[in-house]
Amino acid sequence: MELPKIYKNSSEEVKSIIINLGSSVYSHILNEMNEEEILMKYKIVNNNDIKEFYNKQIEEKNNEKIEIINTYNKKIHELDDTYTLRIQKETERINNDNQNLRDQINQFQNNMHEKEKNLYKVFEKQYEEKMEQLRMIHSLQIEKKDEKIHGMENEMEIHNTKVEPLLHKITEKKDFANTTEQGDYGEKFIDELVGPGLPFDSDAYIDDTHKVSGSGDRILRFKNGFVLMIEVKNEKTIDKGDREQFQEHSRKDFQEKKCDCSLFLSLRQQKIPRIAKTFRPEYDKDDSRMVYYGLDDELTLIEKKHRILACIEELYDKFKRNNDLINENIPQKNAMICNQHLEMLNNQKNDYEALIKEGDRNIQTYRKKLLEINKKINLCVKEHGDYLDIKLIDEKTYKKDLIDRIKQWKEGKNIILKNTFRQKIADEMNLSELDKTMLKKIKLNDIN
């Protein structure tokens, strides 16, 4: 067999490449054919024959590929038709199910409407029956109510003929020709309020002092010896000058021993300069004998009446408690000494707290001293709380001590406290008046 021209004209290195490449192709194409089959198939081979041979091979492969593609396309179309049909059937089934559900929902709604109508009829019947029962109960109680109403009418008649006309005059909103008329308008209220007799002291009477220079508007005297000076303000705005004038009048009356206590009574304004908003009587921080109390202008007449009477009664009761202490042979000097001692302890406490805040190197020593002082303060307040100056008592510390005492009492007697705990504690524990006042500021969660 003649060697190919390309092989003959090549260098030895290229010939070696041709041989290796041909051997590789030979091994790849003819690996499964024996020698006889190879000779029969490739006995006469030239480049054109090989090219034609491979073209045929390629054509056959292309034909096979086309046939395979057509086969797969046919299967794809068949599958597409099959799944399209399935989707149509499933869609029809779902539509049918949805229609059934809609029918069921409509039926359920119709049933619910019918039941609602029936329930409404039942409720309406029961409501009428209940109303009839209430009418019967009301008719059975009407005689007792008539008796109570008759009694209340008698009380209201007394109220309307004595107190109510006075309150209407004082609290009505009107314009005044001048400040004198406005002042007289408020002062007469005290005269007419006390005139018929106070609920807690029917013998109390008024001394008119508004024409006396340097004194308050009215002096109220009680049968137990208590004397209260009252300065009335019937103005919408209270200014600094009003407060300072009241303080000046109070000091003068105290010095001349005209009264035991003074009351700044504002009929139309609760806010007083440099004094807390007077939701209740507020005692002057420098002299607790001076008291401030103001009323909201929007309060009803009855509310104003009850609050003013309650304020005066609180001052009356406070004097009575102090007077009872004197009658029980408790020397006033002892109370003064106790107050001085408590004031000294409070000053020491403030000094040590200041040193602790500054981070002094002896901070542990100061904390021990502060602890000892607090114990002494608690003991002093516990034993003499009712007689001490209220300004000297640390409310937070006293409240904590009272809570601890209540917890100890509660646990010792295995008591469970509920919503009426304050009444139970007041009834069963030996509380001082200061304890009872502080008990009002304690919540059930504080002691449980």
CATH number of residue 247's parent domain: 3.40.91
The last residue of one of the domains, among 285, 304, 327, is: 327
Which structure tokens are listed for 365? 């020593």
Residues 180 and 194 in one domain: yes
| Host domain of residue 437 | 395-448
Task: Give residue 392's pLDDT.
Answer: 62
For 441, half-sphere exposure in the C-beta direction (CA atoms, 13 angstrom radius) is 12
Instruction: Assess if residue 107 is contained within a domain.
Output: yes
Q: How many CB atoms lie within 10 A of CB 76?
A: 10
Residues 348 and 310 in one domain: no
Three-class SS state of 188 = helix
Three-class SS state of 275 = strand
Residue pLDDT tens, the chain, 448 long: 678 788 888 898 988 998 888 888 777 777 777 777 677 666 555 555 656 766 787 888 888 889 999 998 999 888 888 888 989 888 888 888 888 888 888 888 888 888 888 877 887 888 788 777 777 776 766 766 667 667 667 666 665 665 555 545 544 555 555 555 555 656 677 787 888 888 888 888 887 555 555 566 788 999 888 999 999 888 889 999 999 999 999 999 898 888 999 999 998 888 898 887 777 889 998 898 999 999 888 877 677 778 888 899 999 988 878 766 555 544 454 555 556 556 666 666 676 677 677 665 667 776 777 677 666 666 666 665 555 655 666 777 778 888 888 888 888 888 888 878 888 888 888 787 778 888 888 888 888 7
Task: Give residue 322's pLDDT.
Answer: 75
**Strand arrangement of the beta sheet that strand 205-208 belongs to:** 205-208, 218-221, 227-233, 261-266, 290-294, 282-283
Residues 298 and 431 in one domain: no
Task: Give residue 90's pLDDT.
Answer: 87
Residues 187 and 149 in one domain: no
Q: Give bridge partners of residue 221 from the DSSP assignment.
A: 205, 227
Task: Give residue 48's pLDDT.
Answer: 59
Task: Give residue 388's pLDDT.
Answer: 61
Number of domains in the chain: 4
Instruction: Assess if residue 365 is contained within a domain.
Output: yes
CA 95 to CA 177: how far, in whole Å? Answer: 88
Instruction: Assess if residue 7 is contained within a domain.
Output: no
Instruction: Assess if residue 11 is contained within a domain.
Output: no
Write down the pTM of the prediction: 0.38
CA 387 to CA 332: how far, in whole Å? Answer: 9
Alpha helix (H) residue ranges in 269-394: 301-327, 332-357, 363-384
Which structure tokens are listed for 385? 């709380």
Residues 267 and 351 in one domain: no
CA 268 to CA 304: how far, in whole Å? Answer: 10
Residues 171 and 290 in one domain: yes
Residues 323 and 334 in one domain: no
Residues 50 and 134 in one domain: yes
Instruction: Assess if residue 25 is contained within a domain.
Output: no
CA 183 to CA 235: how far, in whole Å? Answer: 8
The last residue of one of the domains, among 139, 160, 181, is: 160
Instruction: Assess if residue 242 is contained within a domain.
Output: yes
Q: Give bridge partners of residue 218 from the DSSP assignment.
A: 208, 230
Instruction: Assess if residue 19 is contained within a domain.
Output: no
Task: Give residue 247's pLDDT.
Answer: 93
Residues 213 and 123 in one domain: no
Task: Give residue 336's pLDDT.
Answer: 56
Residue 280 contacts residue 313 (beta carbons within 8 Å): no
Residues 344 and 227 in one domain: no
Closest CA to 297 of 164, 173, 200: 173
Residues 188 and 255 in one domain: yes
Task: Give residue 158's pLDDT.
Answer: 63
Residues 64 and 124 in one domain: yes
For 417, half-sphere exposure in the C-beta direction (CA atoms, 13 angstrom radius) is 23
